[in-house]
Structure 1
Amino acid sequence: MTIQILPPQLANQIAAGEVVERPASVIKELVENSLDAGATRVDIEIEKGGSKLIKIHDNGSGISKEELGLALSRHATSKLSSLDDLDAILSFGFRGEALASISSVSRLTLTSRTAEQSEAWQAYAEGSDMAVKVIPAAHPVGSTVEAVDLFFNTPARRRFLKSDKTEFTHIDEWLKRIALVRSDIHFTLKHNGKMVRNYRATSTQDQYLQRLAQISGKKFAEQAIEVNCQHDDLKLTGYIQSPFFESPASDTQYFYVNGRLVRDRLVNHAVRQAFAEHVTGEHASYVLMLELDPHQVDVNVHPAKHEVRFHQSRYVHDYIFQALQSALLQVGRLAVDRVEQPERGSTSVNRGYATPEPVSSQEGSGNYGVADSGYLSHDYPHERQSGAEVARNRFATSVSPSSRPAQAQSRTGASTFRAQAELPSAEAIASYGELLQTPSVAQADIDSKSMQSAAPMPPTLAGEFWVLAKGERLSLLPIKVVASRLLRDEILHKLDSGLVSQPLLMPVSIAMDETWIDTVAEREQLLRKVGIEVTIRLGQLIIKKVPPYLRQSQLVTVIPELLQWVRFEEPSNEALASWLAKHDEKRFESAPDTWSAFSQLDDNDREKLILKAKVLPWQSWLEEHPSD
């Protein structure tokens, strides 16, 4: 077959295969064009689930008569004009394919008028060459697009459409998603002549919460925690499920990047990981909006534009994770403070203000490790902070349950916490607080009296040893040995109730040894206790979840090593704790933090660790090297 240029209609229909999957795809493209045109109201009308009629009317800026013909042409757009524009896209559309693709698989007419024109004009494509015809029409300022008989000329595609009810459900779900992020727009939806959705524009938080309740359910809107966090050029806002509710309030899980709904593994992993230590788990509900420099994100990944790539993916992941985890921890601690204040007699619940200590969390950082220096990982040494700086410069995260009854407030700088009308019991909150507690938080929460009573930290040598002098004995105590012992004790304490497992961003697959089948089945309870979740499929051992202590280890060797070990014996908790501590490469604490924790040990435990110090023969050295 000879090479030839495809006819325009065939080329458009091929493009439509990527852009137009179903009626909901058509509505998505057309409504996004309306939003790009500056519309404040968008009316959607459909018949038979959108297969018979899709009509979109907006009050945007409209299209002039001179450009109306171009609007239905392929690769015609007003959103960008050069390659540089492609690197910083803020509009929904930019490919210039949607209208041409839709017009090739439906009977499409576009009617529009600008404020400068005295009359409106209507355009439609006809013939195999997709020639555009423009005629006068009556229409207010704005645009109306009608797509009739979707896939009428591609019967094979039409047969893949589901029932009218199913197609309407997809349209309704998409409208909910766009209505949550564009609360400034008035959306209406009619189906078969009946008004089924009417989302009025909002300008206040209370109005937005009403829209949130309308879309995601009253339960979620009443108990959701508001998140408002900004750091440099990153800003995260929205609502997340309260950790005090054991089951998800709804199936709402929406994440937006610069106003665009995305389905991205990286951000989904960061959100799940932030909730990993909470009872809500990976099924937590959330509506989150991330804003960042458009130069730092690539939206030109997929024709449907629901995927993005971040130029600094690790940086973005750590930011989302730390912001959400800090929000959840703040709410937990503030709620505890609110319950405990009357008992301490320090402050009235209804009028008191508490200033919680800065929260620092390391556990659960996963492959995108959250280091002592804040949320920034070791990939960004130029932005590292000391522990004290982190305490002062922690994200300015504002968190508050969104329910309107506000009986108590706690403030940290500009952050506010509006307590719910009803909170769990003090015992429940205290128990939950133990689940939330991480080692670094525990260290940050050491009271001032204990800190004052702790001995001052001795000098360090090469950042790896403490120099200890007792009497005439001079010795070097390895900081890593102490940190490892402290970590072992921490793991041992948690093993009684089982370790928290965290999902991997990408499951790890290993060629399976036949003996593992029986081992995994027999030691299922033990694996669950240490937070490991594996499955066997198609001759592969698939590692799905591991405890935070193994996140930085080489899982392809560590997990087989564990399976070989437990195949012949069931290790004690002490042995398991030692094994996990040995493989936790990322938990080498800073010398001051480790010394603080070391100082809290009882005398016997401290002496046992001091015995591991290396004694320096300083007397004999001086004898061999006398001073002049």
Structure 2
Amino acid sequence: MQMPIQVLPDVLVNQIAAGEVVERPAAVVKELVENAFDAGARRIEIEIEQGGLGLIRITDDGGGIAPEELALAVTRHATSKIASLDDLEQVASFGFRGEALPSILSVSRLSLVSRTPDAGHAWQVEGAGALETQKPQPAAHPQGTSVLVRDLFFNTPARRKFMKSESTEFRHIQQLVGRLALSRFSHGFRLLHNRRKLLDLPPVDDEAGRDARVGTVCGEEFLRHAVFIDDQRAGLRLWGWVALPAFARGQADLQFLYVNGRAVRDKLMTHALRRAFADAMHSTHYPAYVLYLELDPARVDVNVHPQKAEVRFRDSSTVHDFLFGTVHRLLRELRPDPALHHPAQFAAPPPSAPQPQQSGFRYASPPPRFDSAREPAASAWTTLATAVEQLGSPAESAFAPVPAPQPSDDEQPLGHAMAQLQGVYILAQNRQGLVVVDAHAAHERVLYERLKRQLAEGGVPSQALLIPERLQLPEDAVDSLEARREELSRYGLEIDRAGPTSVVLRAVPPLLAREDIPAFVRGLVSDEDLRETSHHLGEVLDAQHRVMADIACKAAIKANRRLTLPEMDALLRDMERTELADQCNHGRPTWIQVDMAGLDRLFLRGR
């Protein structure tokens, strides 16, 4: 029998709201820290026990809460942050719905203690599931507020059963605190777990301090590969740190996005940034960044998610294009720079001089100090060390060493070729020391960018085959090629249907004239993405890039091809002129720098 319609009791209403706001202990920490931000706090201490299920205490030095407002603070839909629809549409504060504290109280034992600047002492309210009394009690506390949350979900055992282990829940809190710490450089943060201090970040207000905090949260390796950007256009500003494609990740664990200082997870922004890296990284990898978007609060709606983790932009296409364009231009304007290509085990101590700047962007950090106690990462480095040592002696079959001219790093940062190692690597000398280039990967990038330019200028040149080649393919593959005949002609491929299961290949790009053309065509139709016609710009571009990437890969220098010194030097010069030359289109690095200090340490010279 259906129950009659009735008004739910306040406790149950708050517990329902808690299901949306309080997913786990980390959500409690987020809401309480953001309340501290809104209260004007500059220093925030976060104390955790048992992964947050036992205890969460957030203490701040903000403006505090007046005693007559303490009970209201834990009342549903009571807030000091909005009073009208206009306030809601331009909200700049973090907590504004008035749901967090009452929701947390409904599923925990909570104590709220606060002292305003002009008060002689603090006042306190507390309760378990609901307030014990509306009248606050006197308490001892410095200026600011402490919220103590014990026994989270003590009265909702079904919710508590869904919590993970203590270590897992604390890991979520630790990641959250790092994200919050990057949202407010002017704030200090301390994090303790089971009375052990794990994080102590003082407030910072300068470039070096911000870099240091990013390095603490994201790791020094991220910072060493990061470039700082700051660009603004059409009322939008984007600033922050973008890691170069060589730092690509196997998971999206170093992607921090902020809109007007609020940490968000936004599909539109993520898509724009991924598109910017599209042809600089493998499709299974993820870029790393810490980026801040600033715009008029009226142009973004932050009231679309209970936890305010998602936003909606009034003009989403403008935001998407701005993010894509800014980061894409950054990647395109960077050129090979020896300072950014030291493997960690070969890196020299950071120079005292300021780091170089390119195109208005600055490198976030110099390379880390070389660790002489660290063993080489792989046997390949031992081979390299032996090869370098042998360069001064009579050449073996794998080498063709000759004296190299003293390079000018201003115009030729990759130096001049000296030898070819095992038919795979080019060894060159520049002013810093040794440059090692993966010839295939580097040539692949050079060819890929050349094809892109040709396509943008009207199409890739075509070379007719003396004898057209007939290929037998599955019928659906032939259908796909026929449907894409005009598009493929832009890449220099002329393919005609000759029957239900056959095609005739009449012309190819000059780059493929000596390659296995049938294998290349079969590779094209084996790509499931090419079998589906799509009018979405991003998918069309992805398909185009894959075709050009396949052509470049097939035509690039193969392993064991003997190169002359002029050929090697020509490739180095092409790399210096080519966009995104630091990695191939699959995201692999194309070259590294080993400076003289690193080589001296490798061979224990001067010790």
Q: TM-score, normalised by structure 1?
A: 0.60
CA shift digits 1:203-251 (9 cap, x unpaired): 2222222211211111111111112110021011111111344667983
Secondary structure, in 3 states, of the residue corresponding to 2:135? strand
Aligned residue for 1:283, secondary structure, equals: coil
Instruction: Give distance in 2, aligned partners of 1:405 and 1:241.
Output: 14
Write the mapping of 1:60-459 to structure 2, written as runs, cut at 5 A: 60-125=62-127, 131-245=133-247, 251-279=253-281, 281=283, 282-332=285-335, 335=337, 398-404=360-366, 432=445, 435=448, 439=452
Equivalent of residue 525 in structure 1, options 523, 526, 549:
523
Number of the residue aligned with 2:29: 27
Shift of the 424–230 alpha-carbon distance from structure 1 to 2, 3 Å rule, reads: farther
Cα pair distance change 1:484/1:76, threshold 3 Å: same
1:132 counterpart SS class: coil
Q: Deviations over 1:108-131 (max 9, x none)?
A: 111111112122111124676875
Do the aligned partners of 1:13 and 1:105 also contact (CA within 8 Å) in 2? Answer: yes
- For 1:38, the equivalent position in structure 2 comes to 40
Residue 108 of structure 2 contacts residue 129 of structure 2 at CA under 8 Å; is this kept in 1? no
- Equivalent residue letter for 1:285: A
AA in 2 matched with 1:225: V
Cα shift at 1:434: 5.0
Indicate the residue corresponding to 2:541 in structure 1.
548
Percent identical: 42
Shift of 1:253: 1.1
Taking structure 1 as reference, are residues 424 and 11 closer, same or farther at Cα in structure 2, changes over 3 Å only?
farther
The answer to whether the 8 Å contact 1:532/1:546 transfers is no
One-letter amino acid of the counterpart of residue 233, structure 2: H
Contact 1:248 1:285 (C-alpha < 8 Å) held by counterparts: no
Deviations 1:370-423 (A, max 9, x none): xxxxxxxxxxxxxxxxxxxxxxxxxxx73222123799999xxxxxxxxxx999
Cα distance per residue 1:418-441 (max 9 Å; x no partner): xxx999767776764554567569
* 1:524-543 alpha-carbon deviations (Å, 9 max, x no partner): 832466964879xxxxx9x9
- How well do the aligned residues superpose, as a CA RMSD in angstroms? 4.3
Letter of the 2:110 counterpart:
L
Pair 1:266–1:128, CA change in 2 (3 A): closer
Q: Output the CA distance in 2 between the equivalents of 1:105 and 1:494.
A: 70
User: 1: distance between equivalents of 2:25 and 2:287?
Assistant: 29
Residue by residue over 1:87-140, the C-alpha shift from the partner in whole angstroms, topping out at 9 and shown as x without a partner, is 112111110000000011111111111112122111124676875331111111
The CA distance in 1 between the partners of 2:125 and 2:66, in whole Å, is 11
Larger displacement relative to structure 2 (8-17 or 422-431): 422-431
| Change over 3 Å in CA distance of 1:296–1:165 after alignment to 2 | same
CA–CA distance in structure 2, aligned partners of residues 494 and 72 of structure 1: 73
Q: CA deviation at 1:300?
A: 0.8
From the superposition, tell whether residues 530 and 322 of structure 1 become closer, same or farther in structure 2 (CA, over 3 Å). Answer: farther
Distance in 1, matches of 2:8 and 2:334, equals 60
- Tell me, yes or no, if the aligned pair for 1:242 and 1:401 is still in contact at 8 Å: no
Q: What is residue 497 of structure 2 aligned with on the other side?
A: none
What amino acid is aligned across from residue 152 of structure 2 in structure 1?
L
Alignment partner, residue 52 of structure 1: 54
Question: Bigger shift: 260-269 or 485-494?
Answer: 485-494
| Residue aligned with 1:289, SS | strand
| Partner residue in 1 for 2:422 | none
Superposition deviation, residue 155 in structure 1: 1.1
Q: Which runs of 5 or more structure 2 residues have no equivalent in the other structure?
A: 342-351, 369-407, 412-431, 458-485, 495-507, 514-519, 545-549, 552-607
**Per-residue deviation, 1:147:** 0.6
**Structure 1: distance between partners of 2:83 and 2:220:** 44
CA contact (8 A) 2:455 2:491 kept: no
Shift in alpha-carbon separation, 1:195–1:7, aligned structure 2, 3 A: same
Cα 1:54/1:126, change in 2 over 3 Å: closer
Structure 1 match to 2:603: none
Judged with a 3 Å threshold, the aligned counterparts in structure 2 of structure 1 residues 329 and 438 are, in CA distance, closer, same or farther, namely farther
Asked if structure 2 preserves the Cα contact closer than 8 Å seen for 1:53 and 1:147, the reply is yes
Q: Please tell me the residue identity of whatever aligns with 1:298.
A: D
Deviation for aligned residue 1:2? 2.4
Equivalent position of 2:557 in the other structure: none
Q: Residue 334 of structure 2: SS of its match in structure 1?
A: helix
Given residue 158 of structure 1, which amino acid in structure 2 is its aligned partner? R
Name the SS for the 2:136 alignment partner: strand
Contact 1:219 1:249 in 2 (8 A): no
Distance 1:73 1:230 in 2: 41
Residue 414 of structure 2 corresponds to which residue in structure 1? Answer: none
**Maintained 8 Å contact 1:249/1:285:** no
Q: Contact conserved, 2:239 with 2:292, CA < 8 A, in 1?
A: yes
The 2-side partners of 1:327 and 1:262 are apart by 23
Cα deviation digits, residues 490-522 of structure 1 (max 9, x gap): 99659969xxxxxxxxxxxxxxxxxxxxxxxx9
Q: Distance in 2 between matches of 1:308 and 1:423?
A: 48
Code of the residue aligned with 1:526 in structure 2: it is L
Structure 1, unaligned stretches of length 5 or more? 340-349, 357-396, 411-420, 445-482, 498-521, 536-540, 552-571, 574-628
CA contact (8 A) 2:110 2:128 kept: no
SS at match of 2:245: coil
Q: 1:487 to 1:400 in 2, by over 3 A?
A: farther
TM-score (norm 2): 0.62
Give the structure, 1 or 2, with the largest relative contact order (CA under 8 Å, sep 6 or more).
Answer: 2
The one-letter amino acid of 2:523's match is Q
Distance 1:17 1:398 in 2: 47
Q: Which amino acid aligns with 1:324?
A: V
In the aligned structure 2, how far is the partner of 1:98 from the partner of 1:218? 35
Q: Secondary structure at the residue paired with 1:109? A: strand
8 Å contact from structure 2 (residues 106, 130) kept in 1:
no
